[in-house]
Amino acid sequence: MSHEKHYSTRHSSNCDSCKKTKHGNKRRRAHKGRYFKEFSQEQTNRIDKILTHPIWGVFFFILIIWLVFYATFSLGSYPQTGIEWLMDYGAEYISENIPDGWFSDFLSQGVIMGVGSVLAFLPNILILFFFLSLLQETEYISRAATVMDRYMHHIGLHGSSFIPLLMGFGCNVPAIMATRTIKRKSDRILTMLMIPYIPCSARIPTFLLFAGIFFPSSQVLVLSLLYFGGIFIGILMALLFKRIFFNFGIRDFSIPLPCYRRPSLGYSIYNMWDAAWQYLKKIGTVVLLAVVIVWALDYFPLKDIENKNNERISYLENFGKIVQPALAPLGFDWKMSVSLVTGITAKEFIISTLGVVYKADENAGQKELETSLTSRIKEEQQFNKANALSFMIFALLYMPCVATAYTIRKETGTWKWAVLSIFSTILVAWIASFVTYRIALLLLN
């Protein structure tokens, strides 16, 4: 197995291509600040005998991913508890210092419950991106692609498609854009159709929430099964799409394997905080706007619409009850259904919508100040193990977001593949959730 001494994504500070450009000085200064000590060729070959082995390589790949998930759960639970405590304190402060009315409800039920429910999972996102950055800087990612290359051949692709698929764990949009490096158009399209089944980081809060509530003793196992299940479903769909739409062989493709490097802790922390900043920007802009809209639809009308029992029905509840019959076989009520609909825009909206529609019991005394979405879901008891598992499966498999569909259309130059991706993911999600729910009813409840 051949290795390249040059880095796959960065050059050394003495790289000739840097010296020959007018930006060479800037690049050399950047390289100097991001220097990673490279292993020798002999050390690299010795490690690769294990990590790229046909059998042991797969074992270590699964083990590494499992350890990342374990750290995401175990380490992230402590700061998450602290954020939820701050949410409770903020809600209590508002109730004591701001008169009752729409503004008080907006701050407590909209901003704190909606935005805060998404913000509570920021530590888990940070930890995940930190470890993924370590894997990238050590050059293990290219090894993972090599290990998976022989398996990718079975679906008509090669290891180069695995790298965009792996990027999908962060965000599906740049992963789809990364398929530009794949030369053959049919390979690119097939890879694009697989990427929406890769669970992006925006889905993590949904998995963490329900796995933590209903499967507390096996959270890592549930999350691992969800991630590998998404990959497995993506492979099955790729086989189906290949049989229906494509008829091509497999081209030989060699993946460059740079020498291993000792990762820079500072650079990994920088990547972690960069991911945090992007996450916070999204919470402070797109998610906040969505929360305002969802809260208003759930808060109004105050007295205009009443049902037979003289109870107020909000615009959001009316809409939820329209779409709920299509999702009722999966065990979802109107609140679960409407959160999945808003999640089409962005997956973070699933949690923010649940944070708005699942309110604390107004007759629960001090419990009404508990803004933790976990405690509110437990109090309402609308979820159980069966429909919680069904909900996670649906959130895993149905279309990631509108931006993903638009990117597929932009990269392929036609809406045909984007529409196929939208409807196929929703159909697969419905079938998988239905089967999961029916089996779980027999085994878990």
Helix runs in 371-414, H state only: 373-380, 385-397, 402-412
Residue in 444, 436, 435, 389 with CA at minimum distance from that of residue 222: 389
What is the mean pLDDT of the segment spanning 284-309?
A: 70
Beta strands in 166-324 (DSSP E): none
- CA separation for the pair 72, 390 (Å, rounded): 22
Flag whether 200 is in a domain. yes
pLDDT recorded at residue 3:
43
Residue in 338, 108, 144 with CA at minimum distance from that of residue 231: 144
Among 38-52, 249-263, 404-418, the least confident range: 249-263
pLDDT band, residue 375 (cuts 50/70/90): confident
Q: What is the pLDDT of residues 313-372, one digit of tens each?
A: 788 888 888 999 999 999 998 989 999 998 888 888 888 888 888 764 444 444 444 456
Flag whether 14 is in a domain. no
Flag whether 89 is in a domain. yes
Q: What is the pLDDT of residues 163-184, one digit of tens each?
A: 788 778 878 888 888 787 777 7
> How is the chain split among helix, strand and coil, in percent rounded to 5?
75, 0, 25
Q: Burial, 226: exposed, middle or buried (Cβ in 10 Å; 0-12, 13-18, 19+)?
A: buried
| Percent of the chain topping pLDDT 70 | 81
Helix runs in 246-287, H state only: 265-282
DSSP 8-state class, residue 304: S
Model confidence, pTM: 0.72
Mean pLDDT in the chain?
Answer: 77
Distance between first and last Cα of the chain: 52
Flag whether 23 is in a domain. no
Higher pLDDT, 26 or 264: 264
Q: What is the pLDDT of residues 203-244, one digit of tens each?
A: 888 998 898 888 888 888 888 889 888 888 988 888 888 888
Q: What is the largest CA-CA distance in the chain?
A: 78
Q: Yes or no: say if 360 and 374 are a contact pair by the CB < 8 Å rule.
A: no
pLDDT over 80 (residue 71): yes
pLDDT band, residue 432 (cuts 50/70/90): very high
Flag whether 27 is in a domain. no
Flag whether 13 is in a domain. no
Q: What is the pLDDT of residues 273-282, one digit of tens each?
A: 887 787 788 7
Residues spanned by the domain of 176: 36-443
- CA separation for the pair 123, 75 (Å, rounded): 8
Counting the structural domains of the chain, the total is: 1
Flag whether 21 is in a domain. no
Flag whether 30 is in a domain. no
What is the mean pLDDT of the segment spanning 3-9?
A: 37
What is the mean pLDDT of the segment spanning 381-399?
A: 90
